[in-house]
Amino acid sequence: MADICRIPLYRTIWRWHFYAGLFVIPFILMLSVTGAAYLFKPELDRWQEREWRGLPVAERVDADAQVTAALAAFPGASFHYYRVPEAPGDAAIVRVGLPNGTMRDVAVAPRGRVIGSVNPDDRISAWLAKIHGSLLIGRAGGIIVELTASWAIVMILTGLYLWWPRGRGPAGVVWPRLRLGGRTALRDLHAVTGFWVSGLALVLLLTALPWTDVWAQGFRAVRAEMGWVQGAQDWKSGGHASHHAAHDHSAVAKATPAPVANDTPRVPLDRIVLRARNENLPAPVIIQPPGAPNMFGPPNGNAWTLTTQTQNRPLVRKVSYDVVTGIEVSRSGFADKHVIDRIVGIGVAWHEGALFGIVSQLIGVLTALMLMIVAVSGFLMWRRRKPEDMLGAPPLPRDPARLKGVAAITLLLAALLPLLAASLVLLWIVDRLIIPRLPRAAAWLGVARA
């Protein structure tokens, strides 16, 4: 090990791994905790609505009367959608837009009485989404999270290079030698856990990119230029405050509240509810009225629109019914999307732990726990070897001229991850123009070549 640490390539990659890890560790811990919790969004939402379930069903009213009750409870509100109850004793959830631009999910009992309401942005899952996607500071936070994801990819790739066995046996490579204790056990725990989690972590990071700001804007432009757009994009990205807030859908509704005219002749909502039950869509199933703001595309036309808010994108489909006759006028599903959007949709479902139900959720929790182990063990390793008067970064190689392979890989990653490229330019400026003028800072950072 001591010999390989003197090789310029190894030392350079070790240094990259060190700085990438030092930057992402606090964010990895935060994203792992919030991401693991968000995997259980359906369960969290059901728990928050526990008092709205198992209600008496005698003398129940129809869906139209439930909507009327919800609108009466909030004068001046506009009707955005009706969420079909999962069970006969469950309250219907009517989302309304208030005159001040905020939203309310209004719970209406089967008998037609309003029994509660909640701002969608105040749900536990919505708060987790905001923290996970934007650190509660809007787009600036989203950019920080995207930058973290970019450097986390660097950390994983460099970590795999450092882990590579190079003729060693499986001990300390495939399983950690914990019984040795001390630095060896800590190093093995870090390296072996990092190896086992690397594939799952890379999948999580790559499937998060379509939700980001800078990367997603470029991706959207490429989709349009290449003719990959086929229907509305069903995930939010680029300039939105939160990745996972896409599944709350309130942001779009707030932006374009569109009340439905009460005098529009239309087929009763209750008839569309009956049609919805025959579709066997996964919950939560919603019905949007004519003219209501669509979740991701333009407002609905002159039709009732049935769809589902399930996070398992491959199961999503949309059916529209004529507002006067109730006859089906259009139908679209996952198979109708462009193959690129289908790949992204599958990745989104995996990222949120929805693709294979509880199995995906458990894999997501395991991934989060392993990432936390890697982060904490890496921090402890750094603290143990850090000198009192220095950052403790691995020293620079004496001959950086032999690192053309590293440069090529760096350029490739920079081309694919724009925020990584921007940060590399900034680091180059600091390294070349600022650090040389600050000898004490250079010594603390370990910039002097070994």
The chain-wide mean pLDDT, for the chain, equals 88
User: Is residue 450 scored above 80 in pLDDT?
Assistant: no
Is the per-residue pLDDT at 255 higher than 70? Answer: no
More confident residue, 6 or 42: 42
Higher pLDDT, 264 or 439: 439
Cβ atoms of 57 and 89 closer than 8 Å? yes
Helix, coil or strand: residue 79: strand
339-375 pLDDT tens trace:
999 999 999 999 999 999 999 999 999 999 999 999 9
Q: Rounded mean pLDDT of 219-242?
A: 70
Q: Tell me the pLDDT tens digit for each residue of 383-392.
A: 998 888 899 8
Could you tell me where the beta strands, DSSP code E, fall in 160-245?
Answer: none
pLDDT of residue 198: 97
Non-local CB neighbours of 40 within 8 Å, separated by 6+ positions: 353, 361
pLDDT of the residue at 135: 95
On the question of pLDDT at 431 being above 60, the answer is yes
Confidence bin at 115 (pLDDT 50/70/90): very high
Residue 383, number of CB atoms within 10 A of its CB:
9
pLDDT computed for residue 388 by the predictor:
86
* Predicted confidence (pLDDT) at residue 254 exceeds the cutoff of 80: no
φ, ψ for residue 424 (rounded to 5)?
Answer: -65, -40
What contacts 24+ positions apart, CB below 8 Å, involve 307-310? Answer: 307/281, 308/281, 308/282, 308/283, 308/284, 309/247, 309/249, 309/284, 309/285, 310/281, 310/282, 310/283, 310/284, 310/354
Rounded Cα distance between 184 and 443, Å, is: 28
Q: How many Å apart are CA 152 and CA 21, to the nearest integer?
A: 7
Q: Side chain identity at 219, as an amino acid letter?
A: F
Q: What pairs with residue 288 in β-bridges?
A: 305
* Separation of alpha carbons 261 and 145, rounded Å: 42
CA distance 316 to 348: 13
Q: How confident is the model at residue 399 (pLDDT cuts 50, 70, 90)?
A: low
Name the residue among 4, 394, 368 with its Cα closest to residue 204: 368
- Angle (CA) 281 284 286, round 5°: 80
Give the SS3 label for residue 115: strand
Give residue 130's pLDDT band: very low, low, confident or very high (50, 70, 90). Answer: very high
303's CB contacts (< 8 A; 6+ apart) are 290, 320, 321, 322, 323, 329, 330
Which is more confidently placed, 231 or 96?
Answer: 96
Q: Record the tokens describing residue 333, joined without a space.
A: 């599903």
Q: Which of 90-94, 132-136, 259-263 has the lowest mean pLDDT?
A: 259-263
- 322 CB-contact burial (10 Å; exposed 0-12 / middle 13-18 / buried 19+): middle
Residue-range domain boundaries for the chain: 4-38+131-210+361-445, 50-123+248-336
pLDDT given at position 296:
56
Q: What is the mean pLDDT of residues 54-65?
A: 95
Q: What is the mean pLDDT of residues 62-84?
A: 97
Predicted pLDDT at 298: 59
Q: What is the model's pLDDT at position 389?
A: 85
pLDDT for the residue numbered 192: 97
What is the band of 75 on the pLDDT scale with cuts at 50, 70, 90? Answer: very high
**CB contact at 8 A, 176 and 380:** no
159-185 b/e (C-beta count within 10 Å ≥ 16 → b) = bbebbeeeeeeeebbeebeeeeeeeeb
Q: What is the pLDDT of residues 13-27, one digit of tens each?
A: 898 999 999 999 999
Four-CA torsion 33, 116, 307, 249, nearest 10 degrees:
-50
CB proximity list for 241: less than 8 A, separation 6 or greater: 130, 133, 134, 138, 139, 142, 251
Which two tokens mark 20? 């990438």
Res. 241: pLDDT tops 60: no
Query: Looking at the predicted structure, is the pLDDT value of residue 258 above 50?
Result: no
Instruction: Evaluate if residue 246 carries a pLDDT over 50.
Output: no
What is the average pLDDT across 325-333?
93
Q: What is the pLDDT of residue 265?
A: 59
Task: Kindly state the average pLDDT of the residues 93-117.
Answer: 97
Cα–Cα distances in Å, from 11 out to 4, 14, 167, 402?
Answer: 8, 5, 19, 12
Lowest mean pLDDT among 38-47, 195-204, 403-412: 403-412
Q: Which two tokens stand for residue 369?
A: 């726990």
Angular region, 261: left φ>0, alpha ψ -120 to 50, beta rest = beta
In the chain, what percentage of residues exceed pLDDT 70? 87
Q: Using alpha carbons only, give the angle 4, 149, 127 rounded to the nearest 5 degrees.
A: 140
pLDDT of 285-318, one tens digit each?
999 998 877 655 556 678 999 999 999 999 999 9
CA separation for the pair 297, 295 (Å, rounded): 6
How many percent of the chain have pLDDT more than 90? Answer: 69
pLDDT of residue 299: 61
More confident residue, 200 or 254: 200
Nearest CA-CA partner of 92 in 72, 70, 76, 77: 70
